[in-house]
Amino acid sequence: MQNNISLAAHIGDYQFDNLLLNAAGVRCSTTDELNKTLDSMAGGCVTKSATPEERAGNESPRMKALPLGSINSMGLPNHGIDYYLKFAEENQGKNGKQVILSIAGLSIDQNIEMLKKVQESSFSGLTELNLSCPNVKGKSQVGYDFDAVRDVLTSTFKFFKKPLGLKLPPYFDFNQFNGIAEVLNDFPITYINVINSIGNGLVVDPETESVVIKPKGGFGGLGGDYVKPTALANVRALRQRLNPEISIIGTGGIKSGMDVFEHVLCGANLVQIGTAFGYEGTPIFERISKELKDIMDKKGYKTLDDFRGKLKTI
């Protein structure tokens, strides 16, 4: 029966034969890693979030696996915008799949600089502007400053004519949902991606009476099971508030077909997998695809549109 079930999805004019993608930051630093994802059952790949120049990131240990996920303070280690833009230009459409170019400047000026480079390039795919990295020392998350978000988008759309997505931090209050939606609805944004990791969590090892990662005194971003309810809330709340033309990628706590089903039920068009992809690698896309199709088969759904955004309230 699974042959009759489609996991195809789209964002704007961009078609994906599978709604599953990797999340920027995990197994996507090198062209080899990115090609492995393009060769898998994923619907495409997302590059490591690029800065204008190559960056080493924070000191180690900077990531720790945990029973319910992970904590990390990587600090945006990457090979620089030129490295990933070249890959994106050369591999857009490989195997019929999409490449999403992720960028994360350390300032608004850096973001504008990189977006101008993308605008002038031959890359015609989706660009994802990361406004939500919680692990850069001394840098706050732009996504929590709604005036700053408006400023960067105003500056961006004066020259940027290609499709743009935004990776946003988790929001926790209805005033935050309302505030960010009011800003985003004023711009021709193609999609948002929610959520990035929950920033500045702290994990303690009681045996050594110590923190478990070194940067920032042990504070780092949480991923995995810890963040799934917050991720679902952000997908749901923002789907209810954003213009229907703005698509949503759901990210956070996805390690099974049921997790994907719940994200789509809350309104996600696509999903990205981070922590679990780090543990499992590319086979996770085949496993979760099968699990999701099994769920859809049992419920009588043939396409994602059959249940997307149709979460019931009581």
Binding-site residue positions for FMN = 48-49, 130, 167, 195, 224, 252-253, 274-275
Which residue carries 């795919």 as its tokens? 125
Report the Cα–Cα distance between both ends of the chain, in Å, rounded: 32
CA gap 51, 60 in Å, rounded: 20
* 277 close to 255: Cβ distance less than 8 angstroms: no
CA gap 188, 166 in Å, rounded: 11
Give binding residues as ranges: 48-49, 72-76, 130, 167, 195-197, 224, 252-253, 274-275
Which residue carries 């400047």 as its tokens? 105
Nearest to 75 by CA among 223, 195, 215: 215
| 302 three-state secondary structure | coil
Residue 63 DSSP label: E
CA gap 64, 183 in Å, rounded: 35
Q: Which of 28, 45, 133, 266 is catalytic?
A: 133
Nearest to 97 by CA among 24, 165, 37, 164: 37
What is the phi/psi pair of residue 38, to 5°? -65, -30
CA gap 235, 203 in Å, rounded: 26
Whether omega before 195 lies within 30 degrees of 0, making that bond cis, reads yes
133 an active-site residue? yes
Contacts for 309 with CB less than 8 Å, ≥ 6 apart: 239, 264, 265, 266, 267
Cα distances (angstroms) measured from residue 26 to each of 179, 189, 257: 30, 25, 19
Give binding residues for substrate as ranges: 48, 72-76, 130, 196-197
Whether omega before 61 lies within 30 degrees of 0, making that bond cis, reads yes
Catalytic residues: 133
